[in-house]
Amino acid sequence: MEIKKYPEDFQVEEVLDIKKGKYTVFKVKKINRDTIDVIHELARKTGIPFGKFGYAGLKDRHAVTIQSFSVDRIFQDNIKSLELKDVELYDFSEGQKLDIGDLIGNNFNILVRDLHQNSEQTIRSNIHEIEKYSGFPNLFGEQRFGGNEEVGLNLLKGDFKAAVEKLLLKDNLDKELADLIKDGKYGQALETYPKLRNERQILEYLSKSSEYSKSFVVLPPSTSSLFVHAYQAKIFNEAVVERIKEVPLNEVEIGDLVSMEKGGNYYRTQVNKANIIRVKEGINTGSINVIAPLIGYSSLVPKSLLGKISVELLEKDGITKESFRVREAPFLGSNGAYRNILGRYKDLSYKIEEEGVRFKFFLYKGEYATVFLKYLTSSLS
C-alpha cells in the first residue's frame, strides 16, 4: 500500500466549529508544507509574533492540507497581502482564537496505490467487518513513533544518557561522527552533525554541561513531551491489539473504563454489574465509549483484561506508574490521559481508479487515516 507518492494523493481538510469571536480566522491551503513552518514564515514576513497565531492541530507535510489559523484582528490586512510558496490564504472571517484541540475532525480524500488487482471484493469485505463492530481499532499511527518510543522508555527508566544517544545516533550517520557521540565528544560532533534543529540543540547543551537529565529542557515543551507520549502510545496500541483477540472491539467487560458525554463534558466511570446493561446500550448508540489509559502516574487503570495487559506490558519493560514522574526531570513526566479504543468514521466511499483506489471519509480528531486505511485494505497491500 502506497498513500503518499505525490502530495495530491493525500488530501485533508479540517472540520471546525468556529464560534463568534474578536479574532480573524482564515483558511490555509498548503501543498507539501508543514504547519509550523508556514506559521514561522507568516511571522517572519509580517513581524507578528509566532505565539499570536492560533491553530487547532498539526497537519501532514507531504500532502495537500486545508486548515484554519487565527490571529488578532488588527493584523488581518498584513496577512491578506502576503504571498507564500505553495500556500493559499483565503476565506477571512471573524471567530474565536483557535487552540489545540478545537478540532472536530478531518475530511480525507486519499488515493491508495499499489494494491492487488481485484481489490473491490476485499474492500467490501473489510468495510462489512468494520461496520459489524461499528468502527475500527483506534490505534496510533506509525508517524507517532519513529524511535521516539525508545527514547521515552529510556527517559522513564532514568537512563538519560541512553535516551540522548538513541535520539542522536541516526542510521545515516557516518562511523566517525557516531563514535564522537558515543565517546561524549559533543562539541566536536556538533561541527559536522546534520541540520536537525532539536538534536543540535541537545548537542550544544551537552557540549557545555554533562547533566544528561536536563539536556531535554532546551527543547520546546511540545517536542520534549513527544518521547514519553510515544511510549504511552506504544503500550496503548499493544494492549488494544491483545485485548481484541479475546474481547470483540465493540463489547465491554466488567472492570473496563468508559467515557460518556453530558452537556459537553466527558465523564469516566468503571463498568460494574449495576451499570453494564446501560453501558452496552450506550456503546451501541455511540454515546458511551470504552477507553484505555495512556498510562501516567495519576492514571486509573481498568480492573479488566485491558488493564491487566497494560500493566503486564509496563512490567515487561521495567516500568511502573511512578516511573512517569521522571523525578530527575519532572518536565518530562506525564500524569496520563485516556483514549477511545474504538475509532468511529462517517461518510465513507471509495472508487476504483486507474492509479489505485480513492477513499473519501471523515474521522474524528485524534484518529489516524493511515490506521483506518490499513483496515480498509487489509490483505491487499
CATH number of the domain at 227-343, please?
3.30.2350.20
240-248: average pLDDT: 96
Residues 129, 132, 137, CA angle at the centre, nearest 5°? 70
- Spatial neighbors of 221 by CB under 8 A, at least 6 apart, are 331
pLDDT digits (tens, 9 = 90+) for 25-42: 999 999 999 999 999 999
| Catalytic machinery residues | 60
Domains in the chain: boundaries? 18-101, 148-224, 227-343
18-101 CATH:
3.30.70.3160
CATH topology agreement for domains 148-224 and 227-343: no
Q: Which three cell numbers stand for residue 60?
A: 501532514
Q: Report pLDDT for 266.
A: 83
Architecture of domain 148-224: Orthogonal Bundle (1.10)
Read off the pLDDT of residues 155-174 as tens digits, 9 standing for 90 and up: 999 999 999 999 999 999 99
The rounded distance, in Å, linking the Cα atoms of 16 and 52 is: 19
Please name the amino acid found at residue 137. Answer: P
Position 138 pLDDT exceeds 70: yes
Q: Which DSSP string do the residues of 24-39 spell out, in sequence order? A: EEEEEEEES--HHHHH
Q: Which pLDDT tens digit goes with each residue over 97-124?
A: 999 889 999 999 999 998 876 788 999 9
| Percent of the chain with pLDDT strictly greater than 90 | 87
3-state secondary structure of 85: coil
Q: CB neighbours of 179 closer than 8 A, spacing ≥ 6?
A: none
Structure-derived torsion over alpha carbons of residues 158, 321, 250, 340, reported in degrees to the nearest 10: -70
List the one residue out of 85, 89, 87 whose CA is nearest residue 70. Answer: 89
